[in-house]
Structure 1
Amino acid sequence: MSAPTATRPAPASPGPDAAPSPWRSELRRGLPPWAGAAVLLTLAVTMGADAAEWQGDWARTHGLLRWTTMLLLGPLVAAAGCRQGGREHRRGTGDLLRQAVRGRRERTLAALAPLVACVVAAQLVGTAGVYLATWPYSLGGGLTWGHGLLHAADAVFVAGLTAVGFVVGRVVKWRGAALVLALGCYVLLGFSAYVDTPLGLLTPAQEPGLSEEIPALWLAPVIAVWVGGLALAALVGHLARRKLLSLVPLLAAALAGTVLVQTGDDAWRTDPRAQRLVCDDGTPQICVTERHRNLLAPAGEALSGLRERLAGVPGLPERFVEDRPGHRIRRGTGEVPLPLFTPLGHSVVRGEVTDHAVYAWEAVAALFFPDCPDPSGGELDEVVWTYLAPAHQRDLSDPEYALREAERHRGAKGVAETRAALKKLDRLRALPEAERAAWLGEYIAAAQRCDFAAQPAL
């Protein structure tokens, strides 16, 4: 008798493949990753092209980042949102999708959310990258919580403008709508940024006139409600069956806009670090603001030759002081203006003084012209100036060049005057050290009093 054979269960019929996630489809074959890459590329190219003008200064970096986000990224993400929103019209699948199981809201969020996530993530990553680029060359100071929150408000602005563009793409079937929307956003945002009216305070990337000011903590949330409320009102008005629901975010945006207009410049206050001074131990002292404390050593190095030539000179001003808001340096106070560090890209690039000779030459100018009514100066200014701060092809530092220029511009008379000045320069250099120091002290003291007639002869 044979043993019973075991029966095998019938194989299960293969079920339908699981539908791919909308996020996965958008991120693999859709517009969102390309839009994020465009945002990163725009930030990198725009900020990198002017790196010498912001790298090292936290406030300057912050301001340029926000302007770039508003004027360039804003139109870009609006066009990307419009392109994404008009995809159904271009493909001719609108009627088919309206019969799908998913409702209108689900379809909208499935198409919009990945795009918003990509452009916002790219904006935040690009912002962090720019700050990492400025960190090694920091001039001092730093950002406050108010500055950081404003970048979060910029992220809301980027997300909101993407959503507005998406709604426009859904409503307008014309293929050129994305380009026109981008141009319109650029014109509108640019005009509002530069118009000198209370409405200019509604600009999403509003910045004070001076970089030495810091924002209040409440400013960023108010801006976020202002720009986010307008975008949410457009999205809700497009999706909701009850259109009146869009009045809620619209009312919140109106209230936030009113706060921005009413407060005006009160949302910004002077950074106390722009008032406090940090000084070195040299003679004369060099004093910079706390915001630029890392420039104290480079400035001292640039003026080291000048301070050596001024060693032992009596009656000198006590210190060279960086200009700061609300403080005017007057003659007779023992202070002389330090040559300007800003705007960056000229005398200072990436935390270093670019030309020590020119910087010292400008410092001597502050010694000779301390807010005098008559800016002409004394007869020997060129001679003393050249001795204290010799700069290549400036004044009498290069005799052959000086004589050639004198003959070119003033003829024989100019050549004679230049030869006489060169002889006086040689005479000043040949004086004994103590005698030269006393003579320089008397000359500079008369210049500080603006009493040029009392300057000694040479």
Structure 2
Amino acid sequence: MVSGRILRIELRRSIAVWAGTVFLLVALAFLFGLTGPWTAYGERWTAQWSAAALWERHLLLFLLPLVVGAGALQGLRDRRAGTGELLAATPRPAWQRSAATAGALAIALVAAYLLLYGVGAVQVAAGGGVFHLGWAPVVAVGALSLVAAGWLGLGAARTLPSVLTPPALAIATLLAMFPVVGLWQEEVVPKVAYLAPALDNARSLVHDLSGWVSLGQAVWLLGVAATGFGLLAATRPWARPAALLPAVLGAAVALPLLPSGSEPVYVVNAAAEPVCSGRVCVTRAHEDLLPVVAGPGEEALRLLARLPGPPRQVRESAERDAVHHPPARDAGIVYVDFDVRDARSTGEKLTRHLLAGAGTPSCHSLRGDDFDGRLREEAARRMAAGWLMGDVAAPTADPVFQELNALVEQAWPELRAVPEREQGARVAALREAALSCDGDLLAILTDGRR
């Protein structure tokens, strides 16, 4: 066994503390020094407990290569000092000598990871975040991933003792992580992508990673950590190939545990619980916005009552945004998404946002490539809101929206030129088409056809 005294010596004399410090400082530089999706209003990393955990895992995309490289640098210590043969001649087992080095590195890295989460957690608690324990497995697996990466670097450098090993491992890890994490956004995600400890963007404050995903990742990372330690402690030629077995077994056990097809990767947490004022509901994560939404929401429902089969409730969706699929829709509900800029407005502007598309979400996914279709749909959505409110919104000042403004200015008179009853029928037809994402919404308004 490794005594506490030996661990303290390793912490002082190895690069373990330095590795943890560099990890923490680089991560904080990302979160506080750079503008990214983790600073966005609706997705900021200090908004909820789960958001802090998920964004910390996302940053592993950039930070794990540093950890692997640091582990490899530590693994070259005996070669740099020229003490390899001397240590091999001592009666102390090689695995005990390796355990001291690996243990010190693991302690420093786990402490840095937990301290980073603690920085976010303090701000979440101060901001009134909804406390639950769904984030705990996400944080635990993230800390385990640092141990696995650090030990893999240690073992790889002991196996290939070259000054080129640390930078080569760091670059190889970075190049491997990007395409694997990118697979999380594919329409059909291969199971192997879920083995990556770095996560996709945290696009929701009310979701946690599924327990099965965390379990599968933990099994795989334990195998990688065992492989790294095995390579570090190996003293015989046959021991190095045998050390690869835990990683292979870990992957073989983990892959069947991971979701496939329609199985959920993310699950809702306590922050998704609805909080209501009359017919308007938001999640507990946005409870502070309920007074802002309640009035415009009730006004939107009142105006939509002019249409057949009107919605009965305004509700914040607890669905995680999908990259390839349009948002969920329900004929009885007007959904509000606070990640959208207009949904963070107030009063009449917020009412107009809720009335867009006659109270329906957009039919285009986050990764829609049909620019003309998106442009025509947005023009129709604005016109439907304008008809319900009595006038179309003023043109958007941003030059990026010039084409949209021109389309609305051309189509609006065409809608207003027909009798009032026909206008109402066309807006009702637009709502029906938008609920099924079927048809050209702008053509419905201007020509009365799909």
Q: TM-score with structure 2 length normalisation?
A: 0.66
Percent of pairs identical after alignment? Answer: 20
Alpha-carbon displacement from aligned partner over 1:315-366 (angstroms, at most 9, x marks no partner): 4743223345599535xx4x353332237xx467xxxx36666433311314
Q: 1:358 to 1:260 in 2, by over 3 A?
A: farther
Q: 1:394 to 1:136 in 2, by over 3 A?
A: farther
Alpha-carbon displacement from aligned partner over 1:126-163 (angstroms, at most 9, x marks no partner): 123223333444675x6554x42232222222112211
Q: 1:54 to 1:153 in 2, by over 3 A?
A: same
Distance of 1:138 and 1:308 partners within structure 2: 29
The one-letter amino acid paired with 2:194 is: L
Shift of 1:261: 2.6
Among 223, 232, 235, the alignment partner of 2:229 is: 235
Alpha-carbon displacement from aligned partner over 1:72-106 (angstroms, at most 9, x marks no partner): 33211111111111123223343454455755444
Partner of residue 267, structure 2: 271
Among 327, 338, 344, the alignment partner of 1:341 is: 338
1:176 aligns with 2:170: no
Report matched runs for 1:54-73 at 5 Å: 54-55=44-45, 56-69=47-60, 71-73=61-63
1:203 aligns with 2:196: yes
Distance of 2:383 and 2:252 partners within structure 1: 61
Among 165, 175, 179, the alignment partner of 1:187 is: 175
8 Å CA contact 2:71–2:153 kept in 1: the answer is: yes
Q: 1:41 to 1:388 in 2, by over 3 A?
A: farther
CA RMSD of aligned residues (A): 4.9
Among 11, 31, 42, the alignment partner of 1:47 is: 31
Larger Rg belongs to: 1
The one-letter amino acid paired with 1:63 is: L
8 Å CA contact 1:336–1:367 kept in 2: the answer is: no
Partner of residue 329, structure 2: 329
Partner of residue 108, structure 1: 98
SS of structure 2 residue aligned to 1:265: coil
Distance of 1:445 and 1:296 partners within structure 2: 36
Shift of 1:119: 0.9
SS of structure 1 residue aligned to 2:162: coil
The one-letter amino acid paired with 1:239 is: A
Partner of residue 27, structure 1: 11
Shift of 1:67: 2.2
State which drifts further: 186-195 or 154-163: 186-195
State which drifts further: 202-211 or 254-263: 202-211
The one-letter amino acid paired with 1:166 is: L
8 Å CA contact 1:446–1:452 kept in 2: the answer is: yes
8 Å CA contact 2:79–2:161 kept in 1: the answer is: yes
1:359 aligns with 2:356: no
The one-letter amino acid paired with 2:63 is: L
Q: 1:341 to 1:224 in 2, by over 3 A?
A: same
Shift of 1:232: 1.4
Distance of 1:184 and 1:380 partners within structure 2: 51
8 Å CA contact 1:85–1:165 kept in 2: the answer is: yes
8 Å CA contact 1:237–1:246 kept in 2: the answer is: yes
Q: 1:445 to 1:363 in 2, by over 3 A?
A: farther
- Give ranges in structure 1 of 5+ residues lacking alignment: 1-19, 425-439
Q: 1:301 to 1:68 in 2, by over 3 A?
A: same
SS of structure 1 residue aligned to 2:314: strand
8 Å CA contact 2:357–2:380 kept in 1: the answer is: no
Report matched runs for 1:51-450 at 5 Å: 51-52=39-40, 53-55=43-45, 56-69=47-60, 71-98=61-88, 102=92, 104-137=94-127, 143-145=132-134, 147-195=135-183, 196-205=189-198, 214-217=208-211, 219-240=213-234, 251-265=245-259, 268=264, 271=267, 278=274, 280-282=276-278, 285-288=279-282, 292-302=283-293, 304=295, 307=298, 315=306, 317=310, 318-323=312-317, 325=319, 328-330=328-330, 333=331, 335-342=332-339, 346=341, 353=344, 358-367=349-358, 394=395, 447-450=427-430
8 Å CA contact 2:68–2:169 kept in 1: the answer is: yes
Shift of 1:61: 3.5
Distance of 2:382 and 2:105 partners within structure 1: 69
8 Å CA contact 1:234–1:246 kept in 2: the answer is: no
SS of structure 2 residue aligned to 1:338: strand
The one-letter amino acid paired with 1:148 is: A
Q: 1:64 to 1:209 in 2, by over 3 A?
A: closer
Q: 1:279 to 1:380 in 2, by over 3 A?
A: same
8 Å CA contact 2:220–2:247 kept in 1: the answer is: yes
Q: 1:240 to 1:337 in 2, by over 3 A?
A: same
Alpha-carbon displacement from aligned partner over 1:190-232 (angstroms, at most 9, x marks no partner): 2332345343233234669985665554543442232222331
Distance of 1:249 and 1:227 partners within structure 2: 14
Distance of 1:191 and 1:273 partners within structure 2: 29
Q: TM-score with structure 1 length normalisation?
A: 0.65
Q: 1:364 to 1:150 in 2, by over 3 A?
A: closer
The alignment of Structure 1 onto Structure 2 pairs a total of residues equal to 386
- Give ranges in structure 2 of 5+ residues lacking alignment: 184-188, 320-324, 364-372, 431-443
Distance of 2:353 and 2:236 partners within structure 1: 68
Q: 1:367 to 1:135 in 2, by over 3 A?
A: farther
